[in-house]
A and B are shown apart, each in its own frame.
Chain A
Amino acid sequence: MRARRSTKIIGSVAALAMAAALTACSGDSDTIRIGVKYDQPGLGLDEGGTPVGFDVDVATYIAEHLGYTEDQIEWSEAASANRESFLQQGTVDMILATYSITDERREVVDFAGPYYVAQQDILTAADDTDIESPEDLDGKVLCSASGSRSANNIVDDMGIGAELREAGNYSECLELLSNGTVAAVTTDNTILAGFAAQNPGNYRMTNNPFGEEQYGVGLPKGSTERCEEINEAITQMWDDGSAAQFLEDAFGETDFAYEESTPELAPCA
């Protein structure tokens, strides 16, 4: 019965494969697992296995306040699509990944902070002096990243007649911008500044921001105690000047006029 044996083999391979796919890694109790972005220059960017950037610096500071040294932090990539599931499934203990506090998300996860309030802004080529505000985008081509609403804020909500070119992500947008295929890129000013810092002198931020995005520390539902500890850490971070230092490290080389006052903390649920 050779055939039957081979189906058995196929079956067991499948079972193994499923098991491999479903096994989640679990961490030790003396470490803290933090999810950050791995693809956002200036905020969280993978540098050979360890992320660097503003979010990462803030996360390290908070972890220290909670009693963890840098060596005790386990980093993992939290993409926009899987942030809620990471917290709910316990894949990570907290998330700092350009994670805006919204009422919808508050239903599923807890937030500490905000540790920074970002705003939407526009990035253009350095030699472009025409675009100073969203209104100047009328008739221009604007890049929007797939799945982001930033460009719709300008075109649909503000009613400005810009043409949209959709790219897969912001680094594709920057490629289009550097080639002159699009006139401007719009999203959170922190994200834009991160890209601008990679290529000093090539891009210009209009520094004419609008709207606001409160970056919070994502926690599993019901972490009120830890939330309060983190809020303490955030207050301390702004008071002792660490926050300003982190911002300077990340965005100092750009013309980004980052926020220098302490954000108003939201109460823990």
Chain B
Amino acid sequence: MEAFLSNIDRVVDGFSWTVRLTLFSAFFSFVLGVVLTAMRVSPVPLLRTLSTVYVEGIRNSPLTLVLLFCGLGLNSAMGLSLADSVAWDVFWWAVIGLSAYTSCFVSESLRAGINTIPVGQVEAARSLGLTFTQNLRLIVIPQALRTVVGPLGSVLIALIKNTTVASVAGLGVQEASRQMKLMFDQGIAPVLPTFVGFAIGFLILTLPTGYFFGWLAKRVAVVR
């Protein structure tokens, strides 16, 4: 354990990337997820199709491939660069890939949430003369969000764990699992304490998130 603790700076550095990946990806995937959901239920057939194709396509590809496409495809083959230093360039591409992937799950949760709203709510809104966007913004989304707090929490936890894939797949972000593998391979610290240490690190991130969203879900639940 001492060898592990004496390398704690590596661990902290790894988790700092994990947390940054999670925070930025969570924000962007939430925004994109809301947009995708709005498209999915919009009056414009083409937008509905577009959203469906995107969600079904990305949701059913392995995340590894999505990130590979970002790293080797968009970043390398198309030569798009987002930052001057390599570490930040791959970081932002990882955020894009993770957001593109996670937003599908956000959108599916939200859509499921919309489906729990009693029809009467929407009908009442329409009879008051609310337009589609007003209806969505004032009636549907606020209620839907409250019913999907639990599932969105699960999506966030999955995202935290999924950030580990960004260490491979042509990007090589030096996040926590990568640091763990390095410590295994280079024999920096014994394997078992290293694994336990990193596992605790991830549990510190995931367990409270789970309990918080569970609590929040109960608190904001719509009682009908």
Contact = CB atoms under 8 A, between A and B. Distances in A.
Q: Do A and B interact directly, with beta carbons closer than 8 Å?
A: yes
B46 interface: no
Interface string B16-41: 00000000000000000000000000
Interface string B72-96: 1001110100000111001000000
Contacts of A181: 75-76, 79
A99 to B, nearest CB: 17
A179 B172 contact: no
Interface of B is mostly: helix
Given A168-B168, A168-B169, A163 B79 contact: no
Given A165-B86, A165-B90, A175 B172 contact: no
Contacts of A167: 170, 172
B75 A166 contact: no
A172 B172 CA distance: 11
B9 interface: no
A147 interface: yes
A265 interface: no
Contacts of A166: 167, 171-172, 174
B185 interface: yes
Contacts of B75: 181
A146 B185 CA distance: 11
Given A147-B185, A167-B172, 6 more contacts: A163-B87, A165-B172, A175-B72, A175-B76, A176-B170, A180-B79
Contact of A176 (B72, B85, B87, B168): B72
B7 to A, nearest CB: 15
A167 B173 CA distance: 10
A179 B78 CA distance: 8
Contacts of B185: 147
Most B CB contacts (10 A, CB to CB) among A141, A163, A166 go to A166
Contacts of B181: 147
Nearest to B87: A163
A124 to B, nearest CB: 16
Contacts of A180: 79
A218 to B, nearest CB: 20
Given A147-B185, A181-B76, A163 B168 contact: no
A160 interface: no
Interface residues of A, number: 15
A244 interface: no
B136 to A, nearest CB: 41
Q: Which 3 A-B pairs have the closest CB atoms?
A: A166-B172, A181-B76, A179-B76
A249 B170 CA distance: 31
Contacts of B168: 146, 168
B76 A163 contact: no
A146 B172 contact: yes
A146 B75 CA distance: 19
Interface in B177-194: 181, 185
29 contacts: A141-B86, A146-B168, A146-B172, A147-B185, A163-B86, A163-B87, A164-B86, A165-B86, A165-B90, A166-B167, A166-B171, A166-B172, A167-B170, A167-B172, A168-B168, A168-B169, A168-B170, A175-B72, A175-B76, A175-B77, A175-B170, A176-B72, A176-B76, A179-B76, A179-B77, A179-B79, A180-B79, A181-B75, A181-B79
Contacts of A172: 72, 170
A147 B186 CA distance: 9
